[in-house]
Amino acid sequence: MKKLKIVIIDDEPAVLFSLQEFLTEKGYSVYSARDGAKGLAIIDKKKIDLVITDLLMPVMNGFEIIKHLKEREPELPLIAISGIGGIENAVKAIRLGAWDYITKPIKNFAEIELITGQALEKARLKQENKNYKEKLEQLLKKKSAELIKNEARYRIAESIAHLGNWEWTFKKNKIWTSGEFLQILAVNRFPEGNFLDNLLTFVDTADQPRVQRFFKAAVKNKENFEIEFSIKTAANKVKNLFSICRPIINVQKKVIALHGTIQDISKQKKAEKERDCLINILEKKNTELENFTYSVSHDLRSPLITAKGFAELLEDDIKNNHGEALQENLYYINTALHKMSQLIDKLLNLSRIGRLNNKFSTIKTEQLIKQTLDILQKEISRTGATVNITTKLPTIYGDAQQVGEVFQNLISNALRYKNPARSPVIEIGHCRKNKRNCFFIKDNGIGIEPRHYQRVFNMFEKLANNENASGMGLAIVKKIIENHNGEIWLKSKGKNKGTVFYFIFNSRNEQKEL
Amino acid sequence: MNKKNCNIIIYIEDTMAHARLVLRSLKSIEFPGKIIHIKNSQEALAYINNKNNFTTKKPSLFLIDLKLAQINGLEILAKIKNKNYLKHIPAIIFSTSMLLPEQKKALKLGAAAFHVKPEGFSEYCSILKHIIKAHING
Contacts of B20 in chain A (CB under 8 A): 310, 328, 332
Q: Is the pLDDT of residue A432 over 70?
A: yes
What is the Cα–Cα distance from A403 to A365, expressed in whole angstroms? 9
Bridge-based pairing of strands A386-389 and A225-232 is unpaired
**B71 touching A, CB under 8 A?**
no
What is the Cα–Cα distance from A487 to A470, expressed in whole angstroms? 22
- In this predicted structure, which of A246-260, A384-398, B71-85 has the lowest mean pLDDT? A384-398
Confidence of residue A469 (pLDDT cuts 50, 70, 90): low
Mean pLDDT in chain A? 88
Residues in chain B: 138
Q: Is the pLDDT of residue A512 over 60?
A: no
Per the CB < 8 A criterion, the answer to whether A93 and A62 are in contact is yes
Per the CB < 8 A criterion, the answer to whether B68 and B17 are in contact is no
Q: Is the pLDDT of residue A106 over 90?
A: no
End-to-end CA, chain B: 12
Q: Is the pLDDT of residue A354 over 90?
A: no
- Mark which residues 11-70 of B lie under 8 Å from A by CB: 14-18, 20-21, 24, 40, 67-70
Number of Cβ atoms within 10 Å of the Cβ of A393: 19
Q: What is residue B2's predicted lDDT score, i.e. its pLDDT?
A: 45
- The phi, psi pair for A107, rounded to 5°, reads -130, -45
What digits encode the pLDDT tens for the residues A477-486? 988 898 888 8
Q: Among A382, A446, A392, which residue's Cα sits nearest to residue A414?
A: A446
Confidence of residue A461 (pLDDT cuts 50, 70, 90): low
> Are the beta carbons of B99 and A294 separated by less than 8 Å?
yes
- DSSP output for A443-478: --SS---GGGTTGGGSTT--SS--TT--S-HHHHHH
DSSP 8-class letter at A237: -
What is the Cα–Cα distance from A404 to A375, expressed in whole angstroms? 11
Helix (H) or strand (E) holding A45: helix A36-45
> Are the beta carbons of A299 and B69 separated by less than 8 Å?
no
Q: What is residue A128's predicted lDDT score, i.e. its pLDDT?
A: 92
Interacting residues of A314 by C-beta distance below 8 A, sequence separation 6+: A326, A329, A330, A333
Per the CB < 8 A criterion, the answer to whether B119 and B97 are in contact is no
What is the Cα–Cα distance from B46 to B34, expressed in whole angstroms? 20
Region of residue A494 (left: phi > 0; alpha: psi -120 to 50; beta: else): left
What is the Cα–Cα distance from A94 to A100, expressed in whole angstroms? 7
Q: Is A428 helix (H, G, I), strand (E, B) or coil?
A: strand
Enter the ipTM: 0.88
What is the Cα–Cα distance from A7 to A3, expressed in whole angstroms? 13
- In this predicted structure, which of A223-237, A308-322, B3-17 has the lowest mean pLDDT? B3-17
Confidence of residue A265 (pLDDT cuts 50, 70, 90): very high
Q: Is the pLDDT of residue A513 over 80?
A: no
Examine residue A105 and say whether the peptide bond preceding it is cis (omega within 30 degrees of 0): yes
What is the Cα–Cα distance from B99 to A388, expressed in whole angstroms? 45
Confidence of residue A460 (pLDDT cuts 50, 70, 90): low
Q: Is the pLDDT of residue A509 over 80?
A: no
Confidence of residue A456 (pLDDT cuts 50, 70, 90): confident
Confidence of residue B55 (pLDDT cuts 50, 70, 90): confident
Q: What is residue A85's predicted lDDT score, i.e. its pLDDT?
A: 66
Q: Among B122, B30, B124, B104, which residue's Cα sits nearest to residue A316?
A: B122
Task: Report pTM.
Answer: 0.53
Q: Is the pLDDT of residue B3 over 70?
A: no
What is the Cα–Cα distance from A207 to A201, expressed in whole angstroms? 11
Which amino acid would we find at residue B80? I
The alpha carbon of residue A223 and the mean position of all alpha carbons in its chain are separated, in whole angstroms, by 24
Q: What is residue A476's predicted lDDT score, i.e. its pLDDT?
A: 86
Contacts of B37 in chain A (CB under 8 A): none
What is the Cα–Cα distance from A445 to A426, expressed in whole angstroms? 9
What digits encode the pLDDT tens for the residues A5-33? 999 999 889 889 999 999 999 999 999 99
- Residues of A near B (Cβ–Cβ under 8 Å) read 294, 297-299, 301-306, 308-310, 312-313, 316, 328, 332, 335-336, 452, 462-465, 467
Query: Maximum distance among all alpha carbons in chain A?
Result: 169
Report domain extents, chain B.
10-61+82-135
Show the beta-strand stretches assigned E in chain B: 8-12, 34-38, 61-65, 91-95, 113-116
Of B14, B69, B117, the CB nearest to A305: B117
- Give just the sign of the alpha carbon dihedral A344, A347, A349, A351: negative
Q: Is the pLDDT of residue A374 over 80?
A: yes
Helix (H) or strand (E) holding A475: helix A473-483
Of A297, A309, A462, the CB nearest to B69: A462
Residues pairing with A395 in the sheet: A364
Interacting residues of A364 by C-beta distance below 8 A, sequence separation 6+: A393, A395
What is the Cα–Cα distance from A6 to A14, expressed in whole angstroms? 17
Burial of residue B132, with CB atoms counted within 10 A of its CB: 0-12 exposed, 13-18 middle, 19 or more buried: buried
Number of Cβ atoms within 10 Å of the Cβ of A46: 12
Smallest Cα distance from B53 to chain A, Å? 25
Q: What is residue A133's predicted lDDT score, i.e. its pLDDT?
A: 94
Contacts of B14 in chain A (CB under 8 A): 465
The reply to whether CATH 3.40.50.11540 applies to domain B10-61+82-135 is no
Contacts of A494 in chain B (CB under 8 A): none
Residue of chain B nearest A333, judged by CA positions: B17
Q: Among A38, A42, A40, A14, which residue's Cα sits nearest to residue A30?
A: A42
- Mark which residues 74-93 of B lie under 8 Å from A by CB: none
Q: What is residue A290's predicted lDDT score, i.e. its pLDDT?
A: 80
Confidence of residue B35 (pLDDT cuts 50, 70, 90): very high
What is the Cα–Cα distance from A97 to A90, expressed in whole angstroms? 11
Which amino acid would we find at residue B67? K
Q: Among A308, A309, A316, A301, which residue's Cα sits nearest to residue B20?
A: A309
Contacts of B121 in chain A (CB under 8 A): 309-310, 312-313, 316
Per the CB < 8 A criterion, the answer to whether A92 and A63 are in contact is yes
Q: Where are the alpha helices (DSSP H) in A162-224?
A: 179-185, 195-200, 208-221
Q: Is the pLDDT of residue A3 over 50?
A: yes
What digits encode the pLDDT tens for the residues A111-141? 889 999 999 998 899 889 999 999 999 999 9
Domains and CATH numbers, chain A: 5-131 (3.40.50.2300), 162-264 (3.30.450.20), 300-352 (no CATH), 361-504 (3.30.565.10)
Contacts of A308 in chain B (CB under 8 A): 119-120
> Are the beta carbons of B21 and A310 separated by less than 8 Å?
yes
- DSSP output for A202-219: TB-TTTHHHHHHHHHHHH
Per the CB < 8 A criterion, the answer to whether A51 and A9 are in contact is yes
Of A299, A452, A465, the CB nearest to B14: A465
Q: What is residue B1's predicted lDDT score, i.e. its pLDDT?
A: 41
Per the CB < 8 A criterion, the answer to whether A274 and A287 are in contact is no
* Helix, strand, coil content of chain B in percent (nearest 5): 45, 15, 35
Number of Cβ atoms within 10 Å of the Cβ of B135: 19
What digits encode the pLDDT tens for the residues A191-213? 989 999 999 999 999 999 999 99
